Structure 1
Amino acid sequence: MSKKLILLTLFIAMIPIGCGGSDEKSETQADVFVSVGPLAWLAERIAGEHLDVGTILAPGQDPHTFAPSAKQILALSRGKIFFTVKLPLETTVAHKISSSSKTLKIVDLTAEMDLIKDEHDHDHDHGNCTASVIDPHIWTSPRLSKELARKMCEEFCLIKPECKDIFQANLAALVADLDKLDEKLSAILAPYKG
């Protein structure tokens, strides 16, 4: 192969690597971290452009086998808040971070919330059993999402009080959208109630 063809092939192969730079930069400079995309959506709706939000679980990653990288731990340790909702992967991350960061505040958004219990069949060494467990996917409920958003807004106002009015206005718009969604879902599901 000619030298020019090799260089052209290498250049083309490097293009996708260069395209990921901005996402990496924003993750390492995030002020606020969450574990999954739906929580990031809530946080971003409230924060707007005034706080950077990072998500630890990338799209397509398996939350059951997730282990944070050293780079993620470093980025988290530089953040201001890590919001949790009792997902198992958050426990792993919080444990690793608690020893490396003196400034990161870990906030359990589900504290004092009336969470949905789920009957769950599972098989252990002792045979089949049914257990009542907390459904960690609380963002699927518009009503619970509003509670999560309110708690996020309170924390945002503490870390960036100069943006309090903006955060509260963004929260009000988000709550209005979630109320509309709740009304639509209630109407759709009404025939199946009971």
Structure 2
Amino acid sequence: MFKKMSIFILLICTIVTFTACGSKKTETTTVKTQNKVKVVVSFNAMREIATAIGKNKVDIVTMIPNGTEPHDFEPKAKDLESLSTAKIFVYNGFGMESWVDKVLKSVDNKNLITVEASKGSTPIENTDSAEKEEHGQYDPHVWISLKGAENQAKNVRDALIKTDSSNKAYYEKNYNDFALKLDTLYNEYNKKFKTVSNKNFVTGHAAFAYLCRDFGLKQNSVESVFAEGEPSAKKLKELTDYCKKNKIKTIFVEDMVSTKVSDALAKEVGAKVEKIHTIESKEDNKDYLTCMKENLDMIYNSLK
């Protein structure tokens, strides 16, 4: 009887110990999360930049799920809920998130710091009148530019310092490290692109204008800036002639965009199809710098 009672007491003590440990672990995790700055971002590229600056001092929520085309996104009630408890909201701007003004008016969070990441960048105007009327006058793809990303990172850094001034040195160091990597990558490829005479490349949709401005390149594309609609027969004929004239060897296609027309174009002109990153959605778990290094390398190799 005594032996049975001893086993029972030991069992109870063990359960209590494990329960206490579990509770302590949960409490510790909660405290750690509470100590972080809650940042809501619109889509993956903004997450990449916010992560580079905030690192383990931020808790980031991405509104637009991976695999969803940001141009077509419409916020839901749960998105408003995440903004109501956030310290910072980072969005790209330049018409990328057409819903921002309406959403911010609906959010009950007077202390929310909003960051239009593209503020301070020189915009590139849309040339398509229909797109300009529907989406606004600017091409929004600023982040697909090392110079543009550096400016966006600076805006995120300033917001984090404003919200969490006790960690100012931490955010400044992260920004300086990130900016140095961006500048190093820019300098490397600026030298490389100056060695090629052909500056023309073709993409699935016109997302690379800011990258082209960085390096004096020229893009032509199957679809427009906002990846809408297939090209007309006339546009396809012009693209075919353009590819042949400029000896295009690669047709670049992006994640979440149909490759049907790009595949047909590549077959017609004897080019290969290669995937390029827009960083709008997380791809193969690669960070911003990895994606941009791969982009620049692929474009450079296609021009050699």
Q: TM-score, normalised by structure 2?
A: 0.48
Structure 1 residues 42 and 81, CA gap change in structure 2 (3 angstroms): same
Please say which of residues 57-66 and 84-93 is displaced more in the overlay. Answer: 84-93
Please say which of residues 155-164 and 184-193 is displaced more in the overlay. Answer: 184-193
1:164 shift after superposition? 0.6
**Residue of structure 2 aligned with 1:63, choices 37, 51, 70:** 70
**Residue of structure 1 aligned with 2:116, choices 99, 103, 108:** 108
Structure 1 residues 134 and 89, CA gap change in structure 2 (3 angstroms): closer
- Residue in structure 1 matched with residue 41 of structure 2 by the alignment: 34
Residues 33 and 82, structure 1, Cα contact 8 Å, conserved in 2: yes
SS in 1 for 2:167: helix
Counterpart CA distance in 2 for 1:162 and 1:123 is 44
Residues 120 and 133, structure 1, Cα contact 8 Å, conserved in 2: no
1:90 shift after superposition? 2.8
1:149 shift after superposition? 0.6
Counterpart CA distance in 2 for 1:148 and 1:158 is 16
Structure 2: gaps (5+ residues): 1-32, 200-215, 218-304
Counterpart CA distance in 2 for 1:174 and 1:152 is 12
2:151 paired with 1:147: yes
Select the structure of larger CA radius of gyration.
2
2:166 paired with 1:162: yes
- Residue in structure 2 matched with residue 13 of structure 1 by the alignment: none
For the aligned residue pairs, the C-alpha RMSD in angstroms reads 2.7
Deviations 1:1-50 (A, max 9, x none): xxxxxxxxxxxxxxxxxxxxxxxxx8xx9711221211111110110111
Q: Which amino acid in 1 is paired with 2:123?
A: L
- Residue in structure 2 matched with residue 54 of structure 1 by the alignment: 61
Residues 39 and 89, structure 2, Cα contact 8 Å, conserved in 1: yes
- Residue in structure 2 matched with residue 79 of structure 1 by the alignment: 86
Residues 84 and 90, structure 1, Cα contact 8 Å, conserved in 2: yes
Please say which of residues 96-105 and 65-74 is displaced more in the overlay. Answer: 96-105
Higher relative contact order (CA 8 A, sep 6+): 1
Structure 1 residues 68 and 178, CA gap change in structure 2 (3 angstroms): same
Q: TM-score, normalised by structure 1?
A: 0.72
SS in 1 for 2:40: strand
Residues 80 and 106, structure 2, Cα contact 8 Å, conserved in 1: no
- What does 1:3-18 align with in structure 2 at a 5 Å threshold? none
Residues 77 and 103, structure 1, Cα contact 8 Å, conserved in 2: no
Structure 1 residues 118 and 100, CA gap change in structure 2 (3 angstroms): closer
**Residue of structure 2 aligned with 1:187, choices 171, 185, 191:** 191
Q: Which amino acid in 1 is paired with 2:47?
A: A
Counterpart CA distance in 1 for 2:130 and 2:172 is 42
Deviations 1:87-134 (A, max 9, x none): 54634144123232222222222233212334336489xxxx9xx942
Q: Which amino acid in 1 is paired with 2:149?
A: S
1:170 shift after superposition? 0.5
SS in 2 for 1:86: coil
Structure 1 residues 123 and 166, CA gap change in structure 2 (3 angstroms): closer
